Structure 1
Amino acid sequence: MQTLRVNGYDMAYLETGAGPPLVCVHGSLCDFRNWGGVLGPLSTKHRVIAVSLRHFFPEHWDGTGDSYSIAQHVDDMIAFIEQIDAKPVDLMGHSRGGHIGFRLAQRRPDLLRRLILAEPGGELDGSLDPDHQPGPSPLAARFATAAEKIAAGDIDGGLAFFMDALEGPGAWKRMPAMPKQLLRDNAMTLLGQVRDNRPPFSRTDAEAIRTPTLFIGGANTKGGLPKVLHALARHVAGSKTQMIRGATHPMFEQAPQKFCEIVLNFLAD
């Protein structure tokens, strides 16, 4: 593990391989360890740099303060990439990391060569969703309930509620011990996420993206994530979409070989 000082914060990251830089940004309740199953294949062609965002493991945050936000994470990623000695970079984000990658591409396309968004998290506004209703989505409301449990000290209860909301009933119970511990290590970040007030995606946002973009999804993912993916993909000019059969939201953990094949083919074009 290494660290890089960005915006007054020591951002931790893992780096392996050689070649064009591929920066990987994890999702909610995750950290740089989530990419472990794909680092080997991806590093055969690329210098892979997997970051841990502000307040995620190896930091053990207490959930207080106002420095956890999409805006802060985007600022941090911009500062991080600006310090890499080979730019522009390829950027890959999963879930919350996909949202961060999208916003970074809006603000600083000069830093990016290609963009990979694996089921980016977020809400759609009325310009992308004709059924849009003001206020948080049902999934966001369930995440808020999970955060309340965690804040009250029921870490496993809150995480179980979160995972079951995302992946279906019994998801937490079925998880192996190591992934459960990774989620526990980042549990307090959910308190920051429910205060985030991140802006919804709009059609204007999507149409502003000019970086060559690949959207990847799990063909069996339920809920709003596929809706967000396909809505954005329709309006990001020239974008490509690949769905991994039999996989859900953590598609690179469930189907690492297929995921790496898709990513490497896109980056080689």
Structure 2
Amino acid sequence: MQTLRVNGHDMAYLDIGGSDGPPLVCVHGSLCDFRIWNAVLGPLTRSHRVIAVSLRHFFPEPWDGTGETYSIEQHVLDMIAFIEQTAPRPVDLMGHSRGGHICFRVAQRRPDLLRKLILAEPGGELDESLDPDYRPGPSPLAARFAASAEKIATGDIDGGLEYFLDALEGPGAWKRLPATPKQLLRDNATTLIGQVRDQRAPFTKRDAEAIRTPTLFIGGANTKGLLPKVLHALATHVTGSEIAMIEGTTHPMFEQKPQKYCEIVLDFLTR
């Protein structure tokens, strides 16, 4: 593990593999950190240099959930500053879930830093220009996340995480989860407190049309709820984008079928 000083913060990251080509920078999602990419590091680093970051306030940084420095905006600024210090540039950028949202916003603001963009079920909401069923206010999923954060804030870490994961993956998801990924979620549990305070802007048609970086969207064919809707709505309006759906997987598709995920990513990066 290494650290890089970014906007007054020491950002932890892994830098693995070797290649003269563009580095592949990986951004994790909610309640995760750079360890979430472990299942795909082997295949990816055989031909690419992979840099997996841990965002501000995530493991290994201890955080109690207080303060106003946890937000999409802060994480976007941190990623821009991190990539500005990465050589060579431009880089390939890959994000999962909330990390996909962050990568999308980086591509909006600083396309000069990027060669290719990979978004694995980017998290977020759609506005009325992308969703004919749009209703103002938080989504039902956001309300579930808020309830999870309330439990975590009172010290009921496992209870809050169970509520969160079952909302995302279906009833019983937390109980079925092995011990190691459970501990990863516990290590980042307080970040959910910050996330529910984050007033992130919804995706708009204009946002999607502004992306000019070659983009690949990856989804789990069995993922339910809002995430597939967001993926397909964005892909429809990102010029020239591609979609790959992985059969037999849900939101953590690169953990469920890492070999297939890597095949798709490597094919996209080498074209």
TM-score (norm 1): 1.00
Amino acid at match of 1:161: Y
2:240 counterpart residue number: 238
Q: Percent identity?
A: 80
Per the alignment, residue 2 of structure 2 pairs with 2
Which residue identity is paired with 1:115? L
Match of residue 46 from structure 1: 48
> Is the partner of 2:11 in helix, strand or coil?
strand
* Pairing 1:105–2:107 present: yes
Give the superposition deviation at 1:85. Answer: 1.7
Find the aligned partners of 1:248 and 1:139 in 2 and give their Cα distance.
16
1:172 to 156, 171, 174: 174
Query: TM-score by structure 2 length?
Result: 0.99
Does residue 187 in structure 1 map to residue 189 in structure 2? yes
Please give the residue correspondences for 1:42-191 in structure 2 after superposition, counting only pairs within 5 Å: 42-191=44-193
* Alignment-mate amino acid for residue 190 of structure 1: L
Structure 2: unaligned runs, 5 residues or longer: none
Give distance in 2, aligned partners of 1:243 and 1:151: 36
In structure 2, the residue matched to 1:15 is 15
For the aligned residues, what is the CA RMSD?
0.4
Residue 10 of structure 1, CA deviation: 0.2
Shift of 1:197: 0.5
- CA offsets 1:112-168 (integer angstroms, 9 cap, x no match): 000000000000000000000000111111000000000111000000000000000
State how many pairs are aligned: 269
Q: Distance in 2 between matches of 1:198 and 1:48?
A: 28
Runs of 5+ in structure 1 lacking a partner? none
1:173-193 Cα deviation digits (max 9, x unpaired): 000001000000000000000
Deviation for aligned residue 1:18: 1.1
Alignment of 1:208-223 (within 5 A): 208-223=210-225
Q: Deviations over 1:37-75 (max 9, x none)?
A: 101100111110000000000011000000000000000
Matched to 2:270, the amino acid is A
